[in-house]
Amino acid sequence: MTPLPSADQVWQALAQVPDPEIPVINVVEMGIVRDVQVEGGKVVVTMTPTFSGCPALHVIRENLEQAVRGLGFGEVEVRTVLFPPWSTDSITPQAKAKLERYGIAPPRPAGEFGLIELELEPVRCPRCGSFDTSVKNTFGPTLCKSIHVCNACREPFESFKTL
């Protein structure tokens, strides 16, 4: 009988699940996956969505379950917890660098109070590095992004809102 994979191997499998809205980073790097427990033949994955009404929540849950089942586990439970709430501080530094390379300005630190900061300061252009940017629309293609334009290179870009 082949032994079942360890919790570390489950984490590695979950790190192969891309974020459905930003496929350049995975759900582990996003900080959505909070915990993995392996108890015998059962795995419990605890996750926190970026928003309580996240439209991709169902897809993420299915993809997490599929990744764990692919390791040979028969019983998989994906639990959703809303506390502590997810914040952009949960995104790993490596994922923030990937966002920037992908052309999305990464979020600034949310701070110790967890308040949503209004974007009063200019956002750095992920293409040319200029801070001479302006907001074109606070509502981007997803709830967590806004649309900006760089006045230096004239390129539009998305910015990840700080939450």
Q: What is the mean pLDDT of the chain?
A: 91
Dihedral, CA atoms, 83, 86, 90, 95, nearest 10 degrees?
Answer: 150
Q: What is the mean pLDDT of residues 109-129?
A: 73
74 and 106 within one domain? no
| Residue ending a domain, choose from 80, 115, 137 | 80
Q: What is the pTM of this model?
A: 0.83
Number of domains in the chain: 2
Region 39-46: what's the mean pLDDT?
Answer: 93
The residue among 80, 111, 134 that closes a domain is 80
pLDDT in tens, 137-158: 988 888 889 999 999 999 999 9
58 and 117 fall within a common domain? no
Is 29 in contact with 91 (CB distance < 8 Å)?
yes
CATH number at residue 14: 3.30.300.130
Query: Is residue 86 included in any domain, yes or no?
Result: no
In this structure, are residues 75 and 41 in contact, taking their beta carbons and an 8 Å threshold?
Answer: yes
Q: Do 56 and 110 sit in the same domain of this protein? A: no
pLDDT of 118 above 60:
no
Please give the residue range of the domain that contains residue 109. Answer: 101-160
Give the model's confidence band at 30: pLDDT under 50 very low, under 70 low, under 90 confident, else very high.
Answer: very high
Is there a single domain that holds both residue 62 and residue 115? no
Phi, psi angles (nearest 5°) of residue 43: -120, 135
Q: Which of 4-8, 78-82, 96-100 has the lowest mean pLDDT?
A: 4-8
pLDDT: is 137 or 55 the higher one? 137
Q: What is the pLDDT of residues 89-107, one digit of tens each?
A: 999 999 999 999 999 999 9
Task: Count CB atoms within 10 A of the CB of residue 16.
Answer: 12
Residue of higher predicted confidence among 35 and 74: 35
